[in-house]
Structure 1
Amino acid sequence: MGSNVMALLIAGWLLLILLVNMPNDVAAADPRFEPKCHIPCEDNNCWLPRIHCFWDQAFDPQVPANYSLHWKRVHSEEGHVKTGASLSGFIDRVHFSMNSELRVWVKAESQRGSAKSQEVVFNTGYIVKPAAPKITWSQQDPLELSWNSTCNEAHLSLGSCDVRFRTEANKMWLEEEIGAQVNYEFSDAVQPGVFYEFQVRCSCATGLMSDWSASHRIRSSERAPTGEMDVWKDCGVPATNIDCVITWKKLPIFQANGHILGYEVTLLSKHSTAVSVNISTAEPRGRLVCNEMQCYLNSSLTSVSSVNISAYNAQGATEPSYLAIPTPDKERNEQAIDVRMNTENLSVSWDLHSQLPDINSFKEYVVQYKQAGRRLGQGFSWMRVNESRALVTFRGHFEKSTPYQVSLFKVTHNGQSQHVSSVIEYSHQGTPLKVPSFKVTSIAATHVTLFWESGPLTMQKGHILCYQIGVHGQKSVYNVTYSPRNTSHTFELLDLNPDQEYEVWIKAVTKAGPGPNVIARFKTKQQEHLHLQSHILTLLPLVCLLVMLGCLSIALSFHRGASKVCVCLNERVPDPYNSTIFKMMKYQMTDPLAWICTPICEPHPTISFLEVVANQRPRCGKDSHPESQTTKPASTSGQRDQTHRCAREEYRKMVDSDEEKGTSGPGYMEDSSDEEEEGVASGYEKHFMPTSVEILEA
């Protein structure tokens, strides 16, 4: 038992050593290593040339190797020729016989080992390869061509021929086997006015197929173009712009039937005037701008109501295609379409059973997309589908972080169109750019109003979810919802402190993240009472100065009017209504500073003088007359009281000597009441007016 285990272990080690030492290159040899050989017919001689053999790499191309071509005839010794690093070799005519059997193989040697290909056995008479045919003649209508073969020239019978062709617009070849013939006529499937490219190859009766001939280019005969052109309009983003351009797709080859020379465009204005324009495709880029798929007329459609356009070639023109240019309407807010988009595909679908705007007897839908920020006619395409379809897919290259407006229209049988819905979509969303026009428009003590704009779609880089607003030094962040209907936005920032400087920031946020901050700085106003206090404190020095000037003016008045009679110095003054002093003050009051600059004094005041008659005793009452006064002496005190009371009564009836006498006015007083007649005088009389006794004493 132990000896068997030991034997198995020794056998395993020997096998492992054998596998390790075996050249890896032999196992890695390409199965196509076997040679492929033929006898080329050179200069129409198919019997004298040598045999050409070719093979592929035997090892890794990074490993240098040397090759040798080996052969052996029946009942003869092996022959070989070394080719070095070349992957082809020759067997000279002296080493083989025609129509005899020959074995051929290849050996390869490198620093890692050697390898041998499988043997290939063939009859030398069956490896003759004729030269490629030469096309000698062709015609347009019907499309036909012919060629010659080296088999006939080498006195060999023709075997079979193949023909392949393609149009300029198609890169794939269409191949057809036609048998032993040297001419070919195309069927009715040939497209008129199209350039075709042809190649032919043939074999001899017992040989190999030749290589393909050189390409031969021929154009089929033209016919008048057929069908109608696909005409539409590009009105930019948003799709309700006043101005548009007319655009159309180039006719496909099967409709053009030849080379399109130009377009006939008829523009019907809103005033029912028609203008026809013939635009040649050969004219330099100007009014007509084209790419591989479509063209547009670089002309305004502001006053155009409808368009007719047809394409023409040398044989005729298409039927005119009609398109009405509707009056721009308001874009609808409802999202009736679903858009899925990436960098290579744009899919648009809608619900046929939804409540879409209805047009009587419409025939088709038109789905279009427009890249925002591109000029009219550029970054634009559309597709027409019948009314039973609800899905279209555009294929192309859609740029990242770029907005595309996708729109759905209904079109009637008479060419009228109506907008159904539009949405903005992105193939890949990015972070937005800076928010434009961010500023503070209104500032109060505790709140401010912020203003900013959304900016053009090209700056947004994605669907804006919201705007974030914050104040430097505060943790609170305000999220303001974005509204695509509004191009400008406002936000009121509350709970601020009066008379304080602030720094506020804003940024837009998309699905990809927030954009950069935009900063605005401002300072809040003071509170109203604080503002009033500040004004008072500001004016206080001025008030003090005015008071000082007033005091100085009064002091100067004392100094200059010491010898004058001044109101401010007299203990007793006359009635103010009858004094020119107060008349002067009336005029001084119109000048706010006159009281400061001019002392209120009257050098020669006009005062009403009382005439005192010593021999007459004043009487009071209606029945008192001077003639009836008694002449009896009376006591001094009684006479003085009587005189004092009557003097006051007479003074109340006194009229200033400078005024006109009358029954009313400042100097006229009504009859005293009984209480006054009993000795109760007014406060003015008591304070200012002298009594008759005082006058007599004076």
Structure 2
Amino acid sequence: MATSTPWWLLVFALQHCCFSNPGPPPPPSNLQCHRPCSGSHCLDIKCIWNPKPHLDTSTTYSLHWKKNAEDEKVNRSSSDGLIRRAQFESHAELLVWVQAKNQFGSVESEPVVIHTQNIIKPSPPQFQFGSRDPLEIFWNNSCENLQQSVEDCEVAYNTEEDRNQIQVSFANNCSLSSFFYELIIKLFAHFSQYEEELTSSFAHLDPQPNTVYEFQVRCKCDSSLFSDWSETFSIKSAESAPVGEVDAWWDCGPSSCFLNWKNLSNSQARGYILSYEVTVLYNNGTIQLMNVSTDDPSSLYIFDGMNWRLTSPLKDVSSVNISAYNALGATKASPLPMLTPDKQADFPNIDLEMNSENLTVSWNPPPNFSDQVKQYVVQYKDCGLGEFDWIKVNNHQTTGFFKGAFKNYTPYQVSLFVVSNLNEVRHLATARGYSSQRVPSVAPVFDRSEITGTEMTLFWKPVPSCNQSAMILYYQIGVSTQRVYNVSVTPDHEGMTYKLSDLSPGEEYQVWIRAVSKAGPSPKVTRTFRINPHEGYRMMSVYLVTILVVLLAVIICLCGCLLSFFRGVNKMWPLLPQCLNEKVPDPSNSKIFRQMRLKVNEPLTWICVPLHEPSPKISVLEVVAIKSKVFEPDGIRKENGFSQMDCQDDQKQDLGTENTDSTDSGFERKEYSKMVDSDEEKNDGWSSSEEEQSTSGYEKHFMPSALEIMVE
């Protein structure tokens, strides 16, 4: 049977397990004693020490002292760490220690020997006045009140821009310390002894012009301790002419550019800047001069305490020059060329590391690229509120650093530019960054654009980049619960489409979309789409019609090829059987024949002969009467089955058709024996052999020979 453990045993075990064993407290350490003075009076001795922390708060501390002599046995103590003036002599040595005691025992610190006169701590010095040119400060100390001389003084000073304190020890010539920056400063200090009072001074020989310096000083007298630091004394150094150049840059959008420049730092201004002079050089050669006063407000510019900006965009500008003026001079003009519109090619992307306080931009230029670079310019811009800043780095640097308060869930567009040795400005790369991201916004528009058969095209419009709270890595598109597709995107892609395939006509689909960022996916946006059941039949009809059209085109092509083949065989036509040459074309109906008649009558008409139908040599058929022994009953002779009257009629009919463009439809074909060149029909001296030799291929193909006429 299990028994419960008493609670007090648990507490006891917990104490012995989790806490150290009880015992005496740790011994006190770092015991220091001094006599603070007020004017000429130095009274009690005050001692301080460093007790070790202990869980037991019941430990008590007591201060003990006695004269540092062998025969002295008197041991005095106090609980407040003070040795009253009545309890020690003016010039004596004391042995001092501290005792710590609790219920488990007591311990003592290491004893310290002090001399009551050497532990005097004078009151802090008091500043009297200072001068600006040269920068020098003066103060009084209390060593004279103590009837002692000044042994050493230390000066600590800083500027408003650099709060790191710089200490100077007069005794050790100079001793500098700085946390972030190493400053080389020439120092000079001297002391002046006047009859009435002891006055010390310190001169800064090379101060920053027009800079506020804050001084503190402490001193020690003969064989005494250093006093506490004095109150702060502030003084501004004298002005001088400004140095350096004004840092200017362009803030360019899709259609306009605004000029910006940074306010000069105190180290560059070296005085109060009265105005900035802006010289604008336009492409047509004209020059415009603008004077921006730092005292008189104007609608021409905006100043946010750090940067200046012209409110009107500059167009058709080739370059600008800016100078800063104060009462003693001006900076040299800083030229700023206009941004070259074309983008630098083949440059790698830039990498961003960003949080709410810092932005680090890094890049890796191609080999030997830095040889052409004068400097890089890195800028960032909040496209929502227009927050804008830039820095310039040298050509050997590949990292830019910004320090500021970057808003959460806000896109910042970071761009890298280069200024070449020819003083040309080119854009290299752009990236978008977030100090922190969250789940992205859903697509405001999601629908289908068209449905074609079994395919459906989707489209959506993402949230504009300036309103996105995260970098969208990709989109997910899901079809019901079956398929999910990942669609990659680019940061500046404002419209997206995606095609779904292998869909079934007549079926209803639920399609959803969501954006995915580093912080996770956004909520789904779902739409329901139905595929038209007639889409399949319609597509089938379209496919069938397409196939039929293709087949018809193939058949037409084959027929054309066969026709071309038979035209080539026409040269062998007379050798074919007569039945294949039943019908012979009538040359009187030929377009070529009519055109050639015009050619004979009008010599210039050959210019208008179509190129697609070459002009052959046309001949006129001459029917030659052949004597026959056969006569008709009416006394007319028949030759080879034809009467002479028929031949005459045929000749008359042929001559009649030469003057007309119509064809006699009463005859299926016109038969003729041979052709005679119309241009040479007056030449009666030709022999039959010459005619046979001059017979063309056209005549051989289309005209029947005399023998064929006689046979018929």
What's the TM-score bracket when you normalise by the shorter of the two chains?
Answer: 0.5 to 0.7
Alpha-carbon distance between aligned partners in 2 of 1:183 and 1:200, rounded to the nearest angstrom: 10
Q: Per-residue CA shift, 1:226-277, capped at 9, x if unaligned?
A: 1111111122xxxx52223222233333322123344333444556351413
Alpha-carbon distance between aligned partners in 2 of 1:77 and 1:336, rounded to the nearest angstrom: 85
SS at match of 1:255: helix
Cα displacement (A) at 1:61: 7.4
Q: Per-residue CA shift, 1:418-459, capped at 9, x if unaligned?
A: 223333455666543212322222245643321112333345
Counterpart position of 2:389: 380
SS at match of 1:214: coil
Matched, 1:41 2:41: no
Give the aligned residue type for 2:529.
F
Give the aligned residue type for 1:353.
P
Q: Contact 2:344–2:426 (CA<8 Å) still a contact in 1? A: no
SS at match of 1:421: strand
How many residues in Structure 1 have an aligned counterpart in Structure 2?
A: 491
Cα displacement (A) at 1:110: 4.0
Q: Contact 1:507–1:518 (CA<8 Å) still a contact in 2? A: yes
Q: 2:266 aligns with which of 238, 250, 253?
A: 253
Alpha-carbon distance between aligned partners in 1 of 2:506 and 2:445, rounded to the nearest angstrom: 25
Counterpart position of 2:88: 96
The percent of aligned pairs where both chains have the same amino acid is 34
Give the aligned residue type for 2:474.
C
Q: Per-residue CA shift, 1:457-499, capped at 9, x if unaligned?
A: 3455555443221122x31112223245642121222333334
Give the aligned residue type for 1:247.
N
Counterpart position of 1:627: none
Kindly tell me: are residues 445 and 112 of structure 1, through their superposed partners in 2, closer, same or farther at Cα, counting changes over 3 Å?
Answer: farther
In the superposition, the TM-score normalised over structure 1's length comes to 0.63
Counterpart position of 1:477: 484
Alpha-carbon distance between aligned partners in 2 of 1:529 and 1:348, rounded to the nearest angstrom: 56
Give the aligned residue type for 2:36.
P
Cα displacement (A) at 1:71: 1.2
SS at match of 2:167: strand
Q: 2:29 aligns with which of 28, 31, 50?
A: 31
Counterpart position of 2:458: 450
Alpha-carbon distance between aligned partners in 1 of 2:318 and 2:381, rounded to the nearest angstrom: 25
Kindly tell me: are residues 247 and 208 of structure 1, through their superposed partners in 2, closer, same or farther at Cα, counting changes over 3 Å?
Answer: same
Matched, 1:370 2:380: yes
Counterpart position of 2:49: 55
Q: 1:69 aligns with which of 63, 71, 76?
A: 63
Cα displacement (A) at 1:177: 1.2
Matched, 1:441 2:449: yes
Give the aligned residue type for 1:124.
T
Q: Contact 1:332–1:422 (CA<8 Å) still a contact in 2? A: no
SS at match of 2:267: helix
Kindly tell me: are residues 511 and 527 of structure 1, through their superposed partners in 2, closer, same or farther at Cα, counting changes over 3 Å?
Answer: same
Alpha-carbon distance between aligned partners in 1 of 2:218 and 2:402, rounded to the nearest angstrom: 38
Counterpart position of 1:206: 223
Q: Per-residue CA shift, 1:173-231, capped at 9, x if unaligned?
A: 11111248343343442111000000111101111111111110000000011111111
Matched, 1:193 2:203: no
Counterpart position of 2:294: 280
Kindly tell me: are residues 65 and 282 of structure 1, through their superposed partners in 2, closer, same or farther at Cα, counting changes over 3 Å?
Answer: farther
SS at match of 2:376: strand
Give the aligned residue type for 1:76.
E
Alpha-carbon distance between aligned partners in 2 of 1:262 and 1:61, rounded to the nearest angstrom: 65
Matches within 5 A, 1:539-550: none
Matches within 5 A, 1:509-658: 509-527=516-534
Q: 1:117 aligns with which of 95, 109, 112?
A: 109
Q: Per-residue CA shift, 1:272-316, capped at 9, x if unaligned?
A: 351413231674999323355x44344433455433222233323
Q: Per-residue CA shift, 1:60-86, capped at 9, x if unaligned?
A: 377254332221113434343443xxx
Give the aligned residue type for 2:291.
V
Larger Rg belongs to: 1
* Between structures 1 and 2, the one with greater strand share: 2
Unaligned runs of 5+ in 2: 1-15, 172-189, 192-198, 539-712
Kindly tell me: are residues 25 and 525 of structure 1, through their superposed partners in 2, closer, same or farther at Cα, counting changes over 3 Å?
Answer: farther
Counterpart position of 1:581: none
Alpha-carbon distance between aligned partners in 2 of 1:112 and 1:347, rounded to the nearest angstrom: 62
Alpha-carbon distance between aligned partners in 2 of 1:485 and 1:37, rounded to the nearest angstrom: 71
Q: 2:401 aligns with which of 394, 398, 410?
A: 394
Counterpart position of 1:146: 138
Alpha-carbon distance between aligned partners in 2 of 1:203 and 1:454, rounded to the nearest angstrom: 73
Q: Contact 1:23–1:113 (CA<8 Å) still a contact in 2? A: no
Alpha-carbon distance between aligned partners in 1 of 2:335 and 2:346, rounded to the nearest angstrom: 30
Alpha-carbon distance between aligned partners in 2 of 1:335 and 1:158, rounded to the nearest angstrom: 67
In the superposition, the TM-score normalised over structure 2's length comes to 0.62
Unaligned runs of 5+ in 1: 1-16, 532-698
Give the aligned residue type for 1:339.
D
Cα displacement (A) at 1:50: 1.7
Counterpart position of 1:216: 233
Q: Contact 1:335–1:422 (CA<8 Å) still a contact in 2? A: no
Alpha-carbon distance between aligned partners in 2 of 1:332 and 1:470, rounded to the nearest angstrom: 40
Alpha-carbon distance between aligned partners in 2 of 1:113 and 1:246, rounded to the nearest angstrom: 77
Give the aligned residue type for 2:25.
V
Cα displacement (A) at 1:320: 2.3
Q: Contact 1:335–1:421 (CA<8 Å) still a contact in 2? A: yes
Give the aligned residue type for 2:302.
L
Give the aligned residue type for 1:218.
I
